[in-house]
């Protein structure tokens, strides 16, 4: 299958401009991609917008009324089938702070069914956000379940999550955290600093021990100061660290989003931190098995009863558009939603349009809303608009 478009984000588009181009798909992978017109007439000629790599979201607590922490395999599959509506073609379901025994049970269950989930966005594994976090920076997490990353707890989670545990967020200042970072990293698990009251020096020690990410930059962490740089200061300065950013323009102001991208080029990735309320009407939902409320209003995030922000209702295509609205170049924003997160968790076949890469693609409208999505070369979503359907094969 050969697709042409007036703008295609290929590996060669690195100057901020997205030129016309084409993508040839052979089975489930990209066979060829380039600028300009293809050598033969394309099977699909997109009339406008742009063709980009499918988005990769490393922090998704839930979506469409489903909270992964308390959902069964059928509910996970429903979310995976629908996430391509947002341009997301691969993601990490995320579980937040809970008793270690419950998290281990959740990991064991996921390990049993994740390999069989097909027909939508790729489930890349599981992200554990907690329970090894700072009580003073817990955000919406339940303080009763926060604990230290002692060897027994880490061992239990690694054993239960074998083959499925991909990312762990922890506070590096907790007793035993540096040893835990080394053990998790040795087991192939990416470690992220988050929900942390660490000083910059403590974050630097975490990076030296193997941590490679910072969870939702600026949120639930010791802030940037001009004498104590805190978590954000070290995150932006340390070239070993890539930071997730919730670009809903509520968690982080637009000008601060722009500053982050400028301060750490190539090391800011977009995440949604979506909760079960994402894609749903205002109302009551769950996060970590406890109530949250999605208030009315476009872009408003969910909150706990005390007003604490509790995840988001963000779409990944909206996150890209928001970043662009803050002055981030389009190609940079798209890269932050695709290649950077894929590379961070060791999936270089995802998040790019290049020969040999997975044929995970999203057709975005001129205003960066998802029109159609392919996963492994298979068309899995269209917005149903007449113009969209007219461009695609019956």
| pLDDT tens sequence across 186-217 | 999 999 999 999 999 999 999 999 999 999 99
Q: Is 273 part of a structural domain of the chain?
A: yes
Token output for 141? 């997490």
Q: Is 349 part of a structural domain of the chain?
A: no
Q: Is 84 part of a structural domain of the chain?
A: yes
For 302-333, write each residue's pLDDT tens digit.
999 999 999 999 999 999 999 999 999 999 99
pLDDT at residue number 12: 61
Average pLDDT, rounded, for the chain: 97
66 vs 331: CA distance, rounded Å = 32
250 vs 310: CA distance, rounded Å = 12
- Residues 220, 277: one domain? yes
Domain extent for 358: 2-52+354-391
- Residue percentage of the chain with pLDDT more than 70: 98
- Residues 206, 103: one domain? yes
Helices (H) and strands (E) in the chain, counts: 11, 21
Can you name the residues that pair with 190 across neighbouring β-strands?
A: 167
- Residues 38, 164: one domain? no
- Residues 18, 63: one domain? no
Q: Which CATH number fits the domain that encloses residue 214?
A: 3.20.20.140
Residues 371 and 114: beta-carbon distance below 8 Å? no
Q: Which CATH number fits the domain that encloses residue 386?
A: 2.30.40.10
Residue 246's pLDDT band (cuts 50, 70, 90): very high
335 vs 100: CA distance, rounded Å = 35
Task: List, by residue number, the catalytic residues.
Answer: 273
Q: Is 116 part of a structural domain of the chain?
A: yes
Q: Is 217 part of a structural domain of the chain?
A: yes
- Residues 245, 358: one domain? no
- Residues 225, 367: one domain? no
- Residue 357: pLDDT over 70: yes
- Residue 53: pLDDT over 80: yes
- Residues 153, 177: one domain? yes
Instruction: Decide the pairing of beta strands 242-246 and 268-271.
Output: parallel
- Residues 364, 318: one domain? no
Please count the structural domains in the chain.
Answer: 2
- Residues 23, 150: one domain? no
Q: Is 136 part of a structural domain of the chain?
A: yes
- Residues 30, 44: one domain? yes
- Residues 155, 223: one domain? yes
Q: Is 132 part of a structural domain of the chain?
A: yes
In angstroms, the first-to-last Cα distance of the chain is 14
Residues 20 and 60: beta-carbon distance below 8 Å? no
Question: Cβ atoms within 10 A of the Cβ of 384, count?
Answer: 9
Q: Is 96 part of a structural domain of the chain?
A: yes
- Residues 261, 372: one domain? no
């Amino acid at each position: 299958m050969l697709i042409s478009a007036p703008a295609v984000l290929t590996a060669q588009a690195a100057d901020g401009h997205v030129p016309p181009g084409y993508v040839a798909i052979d089975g489930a992978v990209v066979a060829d991609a380039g600028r300009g017109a293809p050598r033969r007439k394309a099977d699909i000629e997109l009339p406008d917008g742009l063709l980009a790599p499918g988005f990769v979201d490393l922090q998704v607590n839930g979506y469409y009324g489903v909270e992964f922490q308390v959902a069964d395999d059928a509910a996970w599959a429903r979310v995976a089938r629908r996430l391509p509506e947002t341009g997301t073609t691969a993601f990490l379901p995320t579980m937040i702070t809970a008793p270690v025994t419950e998290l281990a049970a959740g990991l064991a269950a996921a390990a049993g069914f994740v390999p069989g989930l097909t027909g939508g966005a790729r489930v890349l594994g599981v992200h554990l956000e907690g329970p090894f976090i700072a009580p003073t920076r817990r955000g919406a997490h339940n303080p009763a379940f926060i604990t230290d990353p002692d060897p027994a707890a880490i061992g239990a989670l690694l054993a239960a999550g074998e083959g499925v545990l991909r990312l762990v967020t922890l506070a590096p200042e907790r007793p035993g955290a540096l040893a835990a970072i080394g053990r998790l990293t040795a087991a192939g698990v990416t470690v992220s600093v988050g929900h942390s009251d660490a000083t910059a020096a403590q974050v630097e020690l975490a990076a030296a021990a193997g941590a490679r990410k910072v969870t939702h930059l600026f949120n639930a962490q010791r802030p940037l100061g001009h004498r104590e740089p805190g978590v954000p200061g070290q995150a932006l300065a340390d070239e070993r660290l890539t930071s997730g950013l919730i670009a809903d323009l509520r968690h982080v102001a637009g000008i601060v989003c722009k500053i982050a991208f400028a301060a750490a080029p190539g090391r800011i990735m977009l995440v949604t931190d979506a909760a079960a309320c994402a894609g749903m009407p205002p109302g009551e939902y769950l996060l970590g098995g406890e109530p949250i409320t999605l208030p009315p209003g476009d872009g408003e995030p969910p909150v706990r009863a005390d007003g604490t922000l509790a995840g988001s209702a963000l779409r990944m295509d909206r996150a890209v558009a928001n970043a662009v609205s803050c002055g981030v170049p389009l190609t940079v924003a798209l890269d932050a939603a695709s290649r950077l997160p894929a590379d961070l968790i060791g999936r270089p076949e995802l998040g790019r349009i290049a020969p040999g890469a997975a044929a995970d693609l999203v057709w975005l409208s001129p205003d960066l809303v998802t029109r159609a999505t392919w996963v492994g070369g298979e068309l899995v979503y269209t917005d149903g608009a007449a113009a969209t359907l007219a461009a695609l094969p019956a």
